């Protein structure tokens, strides 16, 4: 009888410990990129559940495929509505894992949401400092156009209704970019506005910022944009720490780095559409941040 009781107590203890372990994993919210949808992230969700069993993984089912071209501030507003209930239920916070254009949406969510409980923000191959390059994606949106001429399309009221135009950062037409782009220079604090201070405070609520990218991406141009680097007027890449928004700490990037809460992960040999299905990328750059 005593042996049976001891075994039952042991089983109960193991169940409690297992539940505590499972409950220890914060929910993960995944935001897809341009022309993507939840289907493309099934493998990534599988990776998470195989390594961290019981994790609640949500791939937000909004602005799929061609609708991903809609204006980014509108997307930010509706993505916020979708993830707010998940955040409210998560006592210990959530993780944001955002791919490509989704990384910009998540950055804007962080900055514009007071008192959020987003723990770690992982930006997976995202054009965080902008995009400037002739790629297949660009040709899908503007067939026959070359990068040198896209500013004529993007830097006006009509062009700013297309998502890619809102992070198109032409280094040869910076005054026009700062004046007419209504998303990225505002988000980076390159264009002054009355919410810079509060947005910076909101952004700094996160515990870790993880930036993932690599030289063989083939879409993010320059690829260093995924690490907040970008071209100067001579199309030479200026790395993150020499960017004006970093030196001036306009949205908190320098502060995060000084806190030791900025992690850069570089992976070679990974094409843009393979980041979220590459297990090596997951184990080397993502897994440890999802506890």
Residue 10 is predicted with a pLDDT of 52
Structure-token match 């089983």, residue found: 11
Asked, for residue 1, whether it belongs to a domain, the answer is no
Tokens standing for 130? 């902008």
Q: Please state the rounded mean pLDDT for residues 61-70.
A: 97
Question: What is the CATH number for 94?
Answer: 3.40.50.1820
Q: For 90-103, how does the pLDDT look when each residue is reduced to its tens digit (9 = 90+)?
A: 999 999 999 999 99
Residue 2 is predicted with a pLDDT of 55
Distance CA 59, CA 277 (A): 14
Residue 167 is predicted with a pLDDT of 98
Residue 270 is predicted with a pLDDT of 98
- Active-site positions? 100, 217, 272
Q: Please state the rounded mean pLDDT for residues 243-259.
A: 98
Is residue 26 over pLDDT 60? yes
CB 220 within 8 A of CB 274: no
Asked, for residue 5, whether it belongs to a domain, the answer is no
Number of domains in the chain: 1
| Number of Cα atoms under 13 Å in the Cβ half of residue 186 | 14
Asked, for residue 154, whether it belongs to a domain, the answer is yes
Distance CA 14, CA 5 (A): 14
Tokens standing for 106? 């998540």
Confidence of residue 290 (pLDDT cuts 50, 70, 90): very high
Own/partner contacts of 189-196, CB < 8 Å, gap of 24 or more, are 189/245, 189/248, 189/250, 189/251, 190/244, 190/245, 190/250, 195/112, 196/250, 196/251
Domain containing 211 equals 26-289
**Smallest Cα–Cα separation from 135: which of 107, 101, 97?**
101
Distance CA 162, CA 159 (A): 6
Asked, for residue 270, whether it belongs to a domain, the answer is yes
Is residue 281 over pLDDT 50? yes
Confidence of residue 12 (pLDDT cuts 50, 70, 90): very low
Task: Report the percentage of the chain scoring pLDDT > 70.
Answer: 92
Is residue 55 over pLDDT 50? yes
Asked, for residue 15, whether it belongs to a domain, the answer is no
DSSP 26: P
Residue 17 is predicted with a pLDDT of 46
3-state secondary structure of 237: strand
Is residue 30 over pLDDT 90? yes
Q: Please state the rounded mean pLDDT for residues 235-249.
A: 98
Tokens standing for 57? 């993984």
Instruction: Kindly state the greatest CA–CA separation across the chain.
Output: 83
Residue 67 is predicted with a pLDDT of 97
Asked, for residue 48, whether it belongs to a domain, the answer is yes
Is residue 8 over pLDDT 70? no
Q: Please state the rounded mean pLDDT for residues 74-92.
A: 97
Residue 5 is predicted with a pLDDT of 55
Q: Please state the rounded mean pLDDT for residues 166-186.
A: 98
Asked, for residue 169, whether it belongs to a domain, the answer is yes
DSSP 1: -
3-state secondary structure 171-208: CCCHHHHHHHCCCHHHHCCCCCCCCHHHHHHHHCCCCE
Confidence of residue 13 (pLDDT cuts 50, 70, 90): very low
Task: List, as one string, the DSSP characters of 120-178.
Answer: EEEEES--TT-B-S--HHHHHHSTT--GGGHHHHHSSTTGGGSGGGGSB--TT-HHHHH
Distance CA 93, CA 110 (A): 13
Is residue 24 over pLDDT 90? no
256 versus 139: the higher-pLDDT residue is: 256
Residue 154 is predicted with a pLDDT of 97
Q: Which residues pair with 209 in a beta bridge?
A: 121, 262
Asked, for residue 216, whether it belongs to a domain, the answer is yes
């Amino acid at each position: 009888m005593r042996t049976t009781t001891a075994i039952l107590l042991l089983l109960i203890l193991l169940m409690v410990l297992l539940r505590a372990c499972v409950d220890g994993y914060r929910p993960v919210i995944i935001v897809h990129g341009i022309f993507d949808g939840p289907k493309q992230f099934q493998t990534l969700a599988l990776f998470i559940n195989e390594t961290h069993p019981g994790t609640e993984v949500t791939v937000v089912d909004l602005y799929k495929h061609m609708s991903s071209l809609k204006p980014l501030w509108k997307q930010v507003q509706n993505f916020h509505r979708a993830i707010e209930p998940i955040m409210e239920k998560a006592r210990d916070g959530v993780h944001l894992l955002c791919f490509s254009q989704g990384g910009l949406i998540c950055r804007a969510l962080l900055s514009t949401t007071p008192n959020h409980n987003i723990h770690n923000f992982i930006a997976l191959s995202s054009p965080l400092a902008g995009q400037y390059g002739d790629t297949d994606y660009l040709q899908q949106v503007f067939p026959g156009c070359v990068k040198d001429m896209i500013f004529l399309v993007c830097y006006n009221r009509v062009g700013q209704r297309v998502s890619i135009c809102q992070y198109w950062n032409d280094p040869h037409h910076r005054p026009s970019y700062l004046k007419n782009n209504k998303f990225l220079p505002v988000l980076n604090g390159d264009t002054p506005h009355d919410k810079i201070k509060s947005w910076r405070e909101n952004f700094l609520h996160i515990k870790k910022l993880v930036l993932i990218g690599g030289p063989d991406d083939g879409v993010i141009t320059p690829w260093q944009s995924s690490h907040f680097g970008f071209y100067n007027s001579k199309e030479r890449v200026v790395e993150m720490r020499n960017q004006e928004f970093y030196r001036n700490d306009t949205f908190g990037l320098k502060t995060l780095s000084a806190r030791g809460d900025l992690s850069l992960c570089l992976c070679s040999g990974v094409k843009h559409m393979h980041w979220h299905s590459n297990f090596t990328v997951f184990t080397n750059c993502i897994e440890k941040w999802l506890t």
